[in-house]
Amino acid sequence: GQSEGDEWTDLEGYKEEFESPLWARMGELARRLGGHGGMDFIILHLAYNPYDTGARTWAAGLLSAYASRKAIISTHAFLNEPTAITWEGQKIWDDVVKAHDNVFLLVCGHNLREATLVMTNNFGHPVHTIMANYQYDNPQTGLLRYYKFIPTQNKIEAYTLATETLAFEVDAASRFDIP
């Protein structure tokens, strides 16, 4: 919903204010190519602790409807420790992720600083779970996690960039590849 002070009553007002020609051009290119680099994706965001089973049912339905698309899910809290998921994450895993073979990547934050966990879905395939949470770092560095998709090599490169200094973190938790 809209928070107090929003001036837009529909998406068109937002687009007029913030839509960049670059995003429009990239969106049109992705539409014509069928995704990024010829790959089709569905990307879903689940709010922090989706108590409502309706939200999880909605997500599962979309993943089924678009089963031919590679799926990425983002949510707030999923990992609790490098090798354990939160109780909220367990609901998402049980109700949404593990039964859909198209989900290959789940990104989250909330706990820890950085962590990765590879889980196995019901089909025996890996689901890469990646946490990046920089809220306790020095805010002057402006840390940003980003991913570079390289379809020709069937991999994703993960980077952590300090936006103020344009320096990359190079430790194994900050710079890695996802096969």
Q: What is the pLDDT of residues 85-141, one digit of tens each?
A: 998 899 999 999 999 999 999 999 877 788 899 999 999 999 999 999 887 777 767
Residue 50 has pLDDT above 80, yes or no: no
Number of C-beta neighbours around residue 25 at 10 A:
10
| Top-confidence residue, 38 or 54 | 54
Number of C-beta neighbours around residue 13 at 10 A:
12
Residue 89 CB burial class (10 angstroms; 0-12, 13-18, ≥19): buried
How many angstroms separate the first and last alpha carbons of the chain?
Answer: 37
The amino acid that residue 135 corresponds to is Q
Rounded percentage of the chain residues whose pLDDT exceeds 70: 78
- Secondary element (H or E) of residue 162: strand 155-162
DSSP reduced 3-state for 170: coil
Alpha helices, DSSP H, located in the chain: 11-18, 21-33, 53-65, 87-92
Position 38 scores a pLDDT of: 66
What's the rounded mean pLDDT across residues 149-164? 88
Residue 128 corresponds to which tokens in the numbers above?
């890469």
Cα separation, 50 vs 31, in Å, equals 30
Position 2 scores a pLDDT of: 39
Cα separation, 22 vs 43, in Å, equals 20
26's CB contacts (< 8 A; 6+ apart) are none
What's the rounded mean pLDDT across residues 17-22? 58
Cα separation, 116 vs 129, in Å, equals 6
161: which strand partners? Answer: 144, 168
Alpha carbon of 143 to those of 2, 59, 81, 162, 172: distances in Å? 28, 29, 21, 4, 16
